[in-house]
Structure 1
Amino acid sequence: MDNYKIEGSPKTQSITFDLGNGVLEIKGRSIPENSIAFYKPLVDSLDKYSSSSKPATTVNVQLEYFNTSSSKCILDVFKKLESIHKGGSAVTINWHYEEDDEDMLEAGEDYQAIINVPFKMVMVNE
């Protein structure tokens, strides 16, 4: 199975999915013109990964900003991860937020309340 990578741009985050090590990283701003089309390849990669997931899967999310349509797609990604977690892989989501960014902290806490996967809130200095 190939790794999955998207380079970031001013409107889209970078995504790196190291399938061999079970590490997914999402960083940057998520305001693509078509969120569903942007996130679909990642969701498809998670579908493939779920059939042969690693014993542990680590997800590092460090978003500066995301729009409403991206929030739904991020939830879809987290739901796929929840399914992988229920299937036996120990999934952990590390939600990084900047010290003074209460909105991003609250967004992470909202996802944490919805998704049955261990979340770690990680404060980072700017």
Structure 2
Amino acid sequence: MGNLFYEASETTPAVILDRDQGLLEVRGESYPENALAFFQPVVEGVGGYLAQGNPSLTIRIDLSYLNTSSVKALMDILDRAEEAHERGAAVEVEWVYDAENDRSLEMAEELREDMSLPFRVSPVSR
């Protein structure tokens, strides 16, 4: 599978999986009708990319809102990343959140506590 690019819509985030740069970026809001179906190609793309040797991957998340099923899909992606990290791949997460959005910060901190991979949380002013 090659690179992925989804433009943001009213209910789905922009998604970029750039294999050449070792980057997965997810930004916007995520509350699609069927988050598992929306994110399945991303989960498969990340899994396939990480299964090839020990590639590096930066996962940059900048979501102002995500619903429960989007959290589940995001966890599927992060679980794949964590497995690759445990095998020696250089995988890291950068969670960017609006400094005024306490919910996004709480979500990032909860996820960071559950992960063994490098996980940075950075506020931005918008």
Bin for the TM-score computed over the shorter chain: over 0.9
Q: Give the structure 1 partner of residue 36 of structure 2.
A: 36
Q: What letter corresponds to residue 101 of structure 1 in structure 2?
A: N
Deviations 1:90-109 (A, max 9, x none): 11100001111111001000
Partner of 1:90: 90
Deviation of 1:60 after TM superposition, in Å, equals: 0.7
1:123 corresponds in structure 2 to 123
Structure-1 residue corresponding to 2:17: 17
Which one-letter code corresponds to 1:31 in the other structure? Y
2-structure distance, mates of 1:17, 1:62: 14
Q: Distance in 2 between matches of 1:54 and 1:3?
A: 18
Give the gaps of 5 or more residues in structure 1: none
Give the match's secondary structure for 1:44: helix
> Which TM-score applies when normalising by structure 2?
0.94
- The Cα offsets for residues 3-31 of structure 1, whole Å up to 9 and x where unpaired, read as 11111101000100111121110000000
Give the structure 2 partner of residue 6 of structure 1.
6
Deviates more, 1:103-112 or 1:51-60: 51-60
Amino acid at match of 1:17: L
Q: Is the 1:53–1:84 contact (alpha carbons within 8 Å) kept by the matching residues of 2?
A: no
Partner amino acid for 2:93? I
- Asked whether the 8 Å contact 1:29–1:65 carries over to 2, the reply is yes
What RMSD, in angstroms, separates the aligned Cα atoms of the two structures?
1.2
Give the 4+ runs in structure 1 shifted more than 4 A.
none
The alpha-carbon deviation at position 53 of structure 1 amounts to 5.3
| Counterpart code for 1:74 | L
Deviations 1:36-72 (A, max 9, x none): 1011101110121022255421111000100111111
**TM-score, normalization by structure 1:** 0.94
User: Would the aligned equivalents of 1:22 and 1:56 in 2 still touch at CA under 8 Å?
Assistant: yes
Distance verdict in 2 for CA 1:12–1:49, change over 3 Å: same
Aligned to 1:76: 76
